[in-house]
Structure 1
Amino acid sequence: MATTDFIAAIELSSSKISGIAGKKNSDGSIQVLAYAREDASSFIHKGAIYNIDKTAQALTTIINKLESQLNNSIAKVYVGIGGQSLRTVKNAVSRTLEEEGIISQELIDAICDENLEVPLAEMTVLDVAPQEYKIDNNLQADPVGVAGKHITGQFLNIVARASLKKNLEHSFEQAKVEIADLLIAPVALANVVLTENEMRSGCALVDFGADTTTIIVYKNNILRYLSVLPLGGSNITHDIASLQMEEEDAEKLKLQYGNALYEEEEDDAEVPAVCTLEDGRTIELAKLNSIIEARAEEILANVWNQLQLSGYEDKLFSGVIFTGGGANLKNIEDAFRKLSKVEKIKSAKFAHNTVHGYSDVLKKDGMQNTLLGLLAAGNDNCCLQEVAKPKPTAASEPIKTVNMFDNDEALKEQEAAARAAKAQRDKEEKERKERERKEKEQREKEEKKRKKKEGPGWFERTFDKFSKEIFSDDDMK
């Protein structure tokens, strides 16, 4: 049976493009009805689209797979935007009133509009995270109706390179897929992973992706900071591959034996522990994990540096929450605790919404949390609704013209007289134009005769005279 009521969403990450369709139940749970994914590593790097044609092809494939599972057509999809260039920029706009008065909605709208006019070189504002307004010396989340003389609007603009959004829109346009809304992917992720208490008391969400790591900070239920690092789990995989192996084998070793804080046991001192590759080669676990630990430490050090730059590193009373595929690396929480001295660290392997359906692909490993967040953020039905054609009615039948003179002899006579008068006028006008044409031809004919009778003019006579003198027979001898 075809599904006629669902929300569809698509996530574009560096390793894959994922599509999902489902419903939000009244109890807050999510019912997944369709899921599809395509590899994107060859045309999306660090969240940015580099090949629009290939991206459009992948989008078309995903939509076709989703529609096949739904047994219905998709009219539009919610899309997440992320990537390396995504970050937040603070801005403040101030106004001083002539005298103390009540802050109006019109004033707030004007301040918000001025915030969007801030110049950004090669960047574009994707969204604005509302912050507090400072009225005189007091902070207000809702300033309308508050009395004051000086107001400063504090804004956190979420920006990215203009090409990031433009290439994404071009890809969907080429795939002929309508975008229902463009959502900030990390914000959608935070809404399904973090609890309201964590956002209020202060926390940092760290999403370890394939090519990027995203840091998001919340305090008092307000987004305070967002930054994206160009480092991720694939960097660890590439380092392991330097041991002369394929990246696919390196990824398997990382998942199976990887440890961010590897310590060799005493029993292994004489005979080092090893892991065996598919081709029969063996690699010492200590050597493998020394590579993994070095790269993991670099990524975690950059994460801690971003938290310090946010200015909220000592205000995160709910600590740091890890999610994403990279959060599955063994002992990564202890490694960050050792580096940063932050005690409250945990991993969110799944969304706090209960998810039904497709449990075989939507594993609780944190890799699909952003996609689930985009689905949860959608509100409109994305099913293609067929518009029924209106049935023909009597009102829609062609209107027949009626001769209003059929039953009135006097009007018939007036109509005939009017037609005759018009015909007479047309005839007289035609005759007048014909007379004028003949008169013009006669005048032109008489003018030609007159000029011929008078002979050549003074200029022509003078010219002939000089020509004869110059070219006389004596001169030619």
Structure 2
Amino acid sequence: MAYTDFIAAIDLGTSRIVGMVGKKNEHGVLSIIAYEVENSGNCIRRGCVYNVEETANKIKRLVRKLENKLHEAKIEKVYVGVGGQSLRSINHTVPRVLGTEGVVTDEIISSLHAECLNFHPDMLDVLAAVSPVYYLDNKPEANPVGIPCTRIEAKYKLIVGRPSLKRHIINSIAERAQITIAGIIVSPLALSDAVLNDDERDLGCALIGFGAGVTTLTVYKGGKLLHLSVIPLGSNLITRDITSLHLPESEAERVKQTYGSAMMDQDNDQSIQVSQADGLGMREIKLSDLNNVVEARMGEILENVYARLDAIEMEGTLGAGIVITGGGAALKSLPEVIRKRTKMEVRYAATRRGIVASGDLEAGNPSYASAVGLLLNGTENCAGYVPPAYVVEPGPFMEDPIEVPPMPKSEPVKPSKPKPEKKQGGLLKNLSSKFDSMTRNLFDDSEDKS
């Protein structure tokens, strides 16, 4: 039977596009129905849609593959994750004077949030307004609703980015792929929802996403978002640097994933076998030469991360430490390198327990964590309308019931009016009278003779 109620999400990554469909139960626990992956190739660069037409084609192909797993159900709308190198957080304050008899209501809080979303910084779009801190008559208040005050002030973290981020998503998915967008969600925030628990956010935690095109830093403290920024350097630069060892890009990627380490061991004289370009056979390179390249580029990326932590004075002060994720986080010795510099605990990201039903193994893969986070934030039913089917119960010549699609509606048949009888007249009327008279005489004579 076709699914009629689910949430669909698409995560746009530099190296691949992930599509995922799931359902929430009454406790908010996700059950993953289907997931598919498309190689994003050159259509997405540094987390941004670069080729609108090619992105639309890949999205349509991805949706078709998902629908093939949904028992003929249709995906009418999707939630889309937005990222990119221009993404960052800024502070914004919204005041409101309530008067001498004012009381904070839910409507006032909603209007403050809406005012933030309608704010237009120079050359930027507001993509989300999160982590509000309220001050009532200059005094902080965590739960302001219902409290009398003369003035309320709300301080938000706004997630902003270039207008092209949202515009290119709308052009590729809504306009060219003809798929309704249920909502555009900030991918780093969705990832945080999937892998960080409340205790980690309260103690203080930095989530670092080592992506192919960009590296994202999201910092929480006291349960609130403290900082979000994107560094325009990703692990694909490491692959490109490895090609300087006279390796084709595909082989450089394989070698990076298999042997790459963020810490070079100069005493290691081991050599590894690599494939040469154009099928020229195998040759050897030193492992120390490989990791000299890897360490240099990863060191550059990490220095940018440390600089952001220093700017917000959070290096070494986060009680829950640092969580790393993304394809670039798979480099050997990376946690040790970060731990040595920051003096904080480092762990790999994993989907939080209890948010995904047991048995959905793909949810535990960090490559799908952002997509899981998008599903968690989704609220609308993304399924297309499926007309109900009539069930024919089994009879003497049928063992199992069958479903019959509904018949199309037809116009009711109007009853026809009886046609009036035609009156006979003239010559026909006289002939008919004479015939009736002769018939009566004939029967009358036969009755007399009997």
- Say yes or no: TM over 0.5: yes
Matched residue of 2:69: which SS? Answer: helix
When residues 252 and 224 of structure 1 are mapped into structure 2, their CA distance, relative to the original with a 3 A threshold, is same
When residues 263 and 392 of structure 1 are mapped into structure 2, their CA distance, relative to the original with a 3 A threshold, is closer
Contact 2:316-2:342 at 8 Å conserved across structures: no
Partner in structure 2 of residue 190 of structure 1? 192
1:350-429 map, 5 Å: 350-352=351-353, 353-354=355-356, 359=361, 362=362, 364-387=364-387
Partner in structure 1 of residue 273 of structure 2? 276
Aligned residues: 392
Partner in structure 1 of residue 435 of structure 2? none
Partner in structure 1 of residue 291 of structure 2? 289
Q: Deviations over 1:369-392 (max 9, x none)?
A: 111222233233322223467986
Q: Deviations over 1:256-282 (max 9, x none)?
A: 1111123244xx4xxx21111023111
Give me the whole-angstrom Cα distance separating, in 1, the residues matched to 2:350 and 2:209.
11
1:162-181 map, 5 Å: 162-173=163-174, 174-181=176-183
Residue type of the alignment partner of 1:226? L
Give me the whole-angstrom Cα distance separating, in 1, the residues matched to 2:55 and 2:11.
12
1:72-471 map, 5 Å: 72=72, 73-95=74-96, 99=100, 101-105=102-106, 107-173=108-174, 174-265=176-267, 268=268, 272-278=269-275, 279-313=281-315, 315-341=317-343, 343-352=344-353, 353-354=355-356, 359=361, 362=362, 364-387=364-387
Contact 2:210-2:328 at 8 Å conserved across structures: yes
Contact 1:208-1:322 at 8 Å conserved across structures: yes
Contact 1:46-1:211 at 8 Å conserved across structures: yes
Gapped regions of structure 1 (runs ≥ 5): 401-477
User: Percent of aligned pairs with the same residue?
Assistant: 37
Matched residue of 2:386: which SS? Answer: coil
Contact 1:87-1:158 at 8 Å conserved across structures: yes
1:35-50 map, 5 Å: 35-50=35-50
Q: Deviations over 1:95-153 (max 9, x none)?
A: 45654753345554554454445441221111110321122342112223223344321
Q: Which has the higher helix share?
A: 1
Q: Deviations over 1:183-205 (max 9, x none)?
A: 11111111110111111222111
Matched residue of 1:130: which SS? Answer: strand
Partner in structure 2 of residue 32 of structure 1? 32
Partner in structure 2 of residue 429 of structure 1? none
Matched residue of 1:326: which SS? Answer: helix
When residues 298 and 385 of structure 1 are mapped into structure 2, their CA distance, relative to the original with a 3 A threshold, is same
Give me the whole-angstrom Cα distance separating, in 1, the residues matched to 2:366 and 2:137.
44
Give me the whole-angstrom Cα distance separating, in 2, the residues matched to 1:255 and 1:40.
19
Q: Deviations over 1:296-315 (max 9, x none)?
A: 11111111222223344454
Contact 2:4-2:386 at 8 Å conserved across structures: no
Displacement of 1:68 in angstroms is 1.0
Give me the whole-angstrom Cα distance separating, in 2, the residues matched to 1:351 and 1:258.
28
Matched residue of 1:367: which SS? Answer: helix
Give me the whole-angstrom Cα distance separating, in 2, the residues matched to 1:139 and 1:106.
19
Contact 1:33-1:357 at 8 Å conserved across structures: no
Residue type of the alignment partner of 1:14? T
Give me the whole-angstrom Cα distance separating, in 1, the residues matched to 2:79 and 2:352.
18
When residues 232 and 364 of structure 1 are mapped into structure 2, their CA distance, relative to the original with a 3 A threshold, is farther
Contact 2:213-2:235 at 8 Å conserved across structures: yes
When residues 197 and 397 of structure 1 are mapped into structure 2, their CA distance, relative to the original with a 3 A threshold, is farther
Contact 2:315-2:342 at 8 Å conserved across structures: no
Give me the whole-angstrom Cα distance separating, in 2, the residues matched to 1:99 and 1:369.
48
Residue type of the alignment partner of 2:349? A
Partner in structure 1 of residue 58 of structure 2? 58
Give me the whole-angstrom Cα distance separating, in 1, the residues matched to 2:224 and 2:413.
60
Q: Which has the larger radius of gyration?
A: 1
Matched residue of 2:68: which SS? Answer: helix
Contact 1:208-1:325 at 8 Å conserved across structures: yes
Residue type of the alignment partner of 1:276? Q
When residues 166 and 136 of structure 1 are mapped into structure 2, their CA distance, relative to the original with a 3 A threshold, is same
